[in-house]
Amino acid sequence: MTKPRLLIIDDDESIRKQMRWALAQDYDVITAEDRPSALNAVKRKPWVVTLDLGLPPDEAGSSEGMACLREMLRCDPFIKVVVITGNTDKENALKGISAGAYDYLTKPVDIDELKVILKRAVHVASLERENVELRNRIDKGVVFEDLLGTTESMQEIFTTVRKVAPTDVPVLITGESGTGKELVARAIHQRSRRKDGPFIPINCGAIPETLLESELFGYEKGAFTGAHTRKKGKIELANNGTIFFDEVGELPLQLQVKLLRFLQEQEIERIGGKERIKVDVRVLAATNRDLEKAIAESTFREDMYYRLALIHIKIPPLRERKDDLLLCAMAFLQKFAKEFGKNFKGFSNEAIDTITSYTWPGNVRELENRIKRAVIMADGPTITPQALSLNARPEEGSKPSEPLNLKSGRERAEKEYIHKALLRHNGNISRTADELGISRPTLYDLLRKYRLEDFEQ
C-alpha cells in the first residue's frame, strides 16, 4: 500500500532531518524550509503537513507561517496541517486552528504524540476525500454507499455485494421490514454490467393477485375484458437489466410455477399470447418472511427457493447494529438539515440516550423518518427527545444485559461516555479532551483502547 505523503515545513535543517528519520517508516516524507518552497511542495499533494509558524523572514513571529497556512488551504482544502509553535505561544496556535489547521503541538515536539495526531489526520483526510468521491458517484446514480455501517455484519454484506454484482446469479435478500433490502438490490445492480440497463422493482405483496400475473408478464390485445392494447410486463421491461421481486414470499403458488419457468428458461409468454419471448434479465428478490418455514407449510415452492437463493444475503435488524445507530442518525441529521436549510450542533445527551436505548422495530426506515420529523420540528440548536417524539423502551421479553464484572462494566460506561463526547464535539479531539478533563495523549490512548480511532466526524 502506498504511504501517505507528509510535508515537513521548518527552517531548521537539523529538525527537518530528525523528523524525516522518525517518520519515514510510515510516510513518504518531503520537506520545505520557507513559504515559497512549501507552496511548491504542496503541488505534490501531501495529505498531512507539519508547519513551524516561525518561518523566515519572520522567524521570531508567526505572520509568515500563518500566511503559508492560509495559502496551502486555498490550494488544497483537504490538506491536514499540524501547527508547531513555541511552548509559550498557545495564542498563535489557536489562531492557526481558527484559520483551518487540523491540530497543534508545542515545542519540543513529542514524536509519539505527533505520530498519533498524524495517523488520525490521515484518517480524517481519507474520509473527507472519500466523501467527495461518494457525492460525485451518488450524483451519477451510484447508491451502494447509501448503505451505512461499520459493524462486522454490514461489512460482510458490502463484501458480498462487491463479489456477486459482476455476475448474473440470482440473489435472495432477507431481513425485517425497513432494513434496506431494496438498497442492497440497487447496489448490486449499479455495480453490475447491467448498470446502464433498467432496474425494475415490483412489490409482490402490494398488487392484487388477479392483477399480478399481467403486471409481471404483460398481455396481448383482447386477452381479457379491458385489454384494448398490447402491454409489456415488468419482466419484459427489465430486458438487459435487473428485475427486483420485493416481498417475493407473497407470490401465490400458481404464479410461482409460471415464474419458475421464466427463471429456468429466460422466456416468457404474455397473457393471451402464443409467442415465447426471449429476455435477458438478472433476478434479485427480497422478503421479510421465513421462506424455509413457508416451504414446510407448502406456501412456497422449494425449487423456486433454490432458484432464487443461489446467493443469500441476510440483513440484520438495526437493534443488532448498535454501533451503527449513531452513525446512521448523524448521517440522516446532516441530510435533512441540508434539505430543509437548518443548522444543528447535533443531538442532546438525552436524545443520544433515547436513540441508543430504543429498539427500533421499524429499523433504518423508522430511524430515517424520526430524524426527518425531528429536523422539521426542532427549534433549538440540538435535537432533543421531544423533537424525535420517541419513548425509549426495552425490547419486549428481554432483560437489560449486565456486565460480567465491575471492570467490564466500568470500561463499557467509559467507552460510551467518550463516544458521546466525540459526537457532541463533532470528533474534535481538543474540545473532547477538555470536556473529559484529560490530556490529548490520554484521550488518544483511550481511543486506541476502545477502537474509536476511526470515529467518523
Q: Which residue has the cell 451519477?
A: 140
Residue 203 and residue 286 in one domain: yes
Tell me if 141 is assigned to some domain: no
pLDDT for residue 432: 82
Please say if the pLDDT value at position 287 is more than 90: yes
pLDDT for residue 220: 84
Bridge partners, 232 (sequence order): 218
Please say if the pLDDT value at position 379 is more than 50: yes
Q: Which helix (H) or strand (E) holds 327?
A: helix 322-339
**Tell me, what CATH number does 352's domain have?**
1.10.8.60
pLDDT bin (cut points 50, 70, 90) of residue 35 is very high
Please say if the pLDDT value at position 369 is more than 60: yes
Compute the average pLDDT of residues 393-422. 62
pLDDT for residue 280: 94
Tell me if 457 is assigned to some domain: no
Residue 282 and residue 349 in one domain: no
Please say if the pLDDT value at position 383 is more than 80: yes
**Which is more confidently placed, 294 or 349?**
294
∠280-284-290 over CA atoms, to 5°? 145
Tell me if 455 is assigned to some domain: no
pLDDT bin (cut points 50, 70, 90) of residue 146 is low
Which range is least confidently modeled, 224-233, 242-251, 296-305, 401-410?
401-410
**Which is more confidently placed, 331 or 216?**
216
Tell me if 142 is assigned to some domain: no
pLDDT for residue 306: 93
Residue 158, amino acid = F
pLDDT for residue 453: 59
Cis ω before 57 (30° cut-off from 0): yes
Q: Which residue has the cell 419457468?
A: 261
pLDDT for residue 141: 34
Q: Which helix (H) or strand (E) holds 368?
A: helix 363-377
Q: How far apart are CA 145 and CA 134, in angstroms?
A: 7
Note the maximum CA span of the chain.
92
Query: Which structural domain range is residue 386 located in?
Result: 319-449
**Which is more confidently placed, 203 or 405?**
203
Please say if the pLDDT value at position 41 is more than 60: yes
Please say if the pLDDT value at position 138 is more than 60: no
Please say if the pLDDT value at position 10 is more than 70: yes
pLDDT for residue 288: 93
Compute the average pLDDT of residues 241-264. 92
pLDDT for residue 137: 42
Q: How far apart are CA 304 and CA 312, in angstroms?
A: 14
Looking at 314, 339, 362, the residue that finishes a domain is: 314
pLDDT for residue 107: 83
User: What value does the mean pLDDT of the chain take?
Assistant: 84
pLDDT for residue 436: 85
pLDDT bin (cut points 50, 70, 90) of residue 143 is very low
| Number of domains comprising the chain | 3
pLDDT for residue 96: 86
Write the CB contacts of 392 (distance below 8 Å, at least 6 apart in sequence). 353, 354, 357, 358
Residue 302 and residue 415 in one domain: no
Residue 367 and residue 251 in one domain: no
Residue 443 and residue 357 in one domain: yes
Please say if the pLDDT value at position 293 is more than 90: yes
Looking at 101, 136, 171, the residue that finishes a domain is: 136
309-328 confidence digits (pLDDT tens): 999 999 999 999 887 787 78
Cell reading at 138: 451518488
pLDDT for residue 330: 80
Q: DSSP states of 126-195 as a string? A: HHHHHHHHHHHHHHTT--GGGS---SHHHHHHHHHHHHHTTS---EEEE--TTS-HHHHHHHHHHTSTTT
Residue 158 and residue 306 in one domain: yes
Compute the average pLDDT of residues 27-37. 93
pLDDT for residue 234: 93
Residue 421 and residue 371 in one domain: yes
**Tell me, what CATH number does 18's domain have?**
3.40.50.2300
Compute the average pLDDT of residues 28-38. 93
Residue 139 burial class via C-beta count within 10 angstroms: exposed 0-12, middle 13-18, buried 19 and up? exposed
pLDDT for residue 417: 81
Compute the average pLDDT of residues 32-52. 92
Q: DSSP states of 235-279 as a string? A: HHHTTTSEEEEETGGG--HHHHHHHHHHHHHSEE--BT----EE-
Residue 342 and residue 227 in one domain: no
Looking at 115, 136, 157, the residue that finishes a domain is: 136
Per the CB < 8 A criterion, the answer to whether 185 and 158 are in contact is no
Which range is least confidently modeled, 131-140, 341-350, 400-409?
131-140
Please say if the pLDDT value at position 262 is more than 60: yes
Residue 229 and residue 348 in one domain: no
Please say if the pLDDT value at position 139 is more than 70: no
Q: How far apart are CA 101 and CA 69, in angstroms?
A: 7
Tell me if 454 is assigned to some domain: no
Write the CB contacts of 101 (distance below 8 Å, at least 6 apart in sequence). 51, 69, 81, 82, 83
Residue 212 and residue 232 in one domain: yes
Tell me if 43 is assigned to some domain: yes
Give the length of the chain: 457
**Tell me, what CATH number does 280's domain have?**
3.40.50.300
pLDDT bin (cut points 50, 70, 90) of residue 397 is very low
Q: How far apart are CA 180 and CA 317, in angstroms?
A: 10
SS3 203: strand
Residue 310 and residue 169 in one domain: yes
Residue 24 and residue 109 in one domain: yes
With CA atoms as reference, report the closest residue to 171 among 263, 95, 236.
263
Cell reading at 202: 415490483
% of the chain with per-residue pLDDT over 90 = 41
pLDDT for residue 87: 62
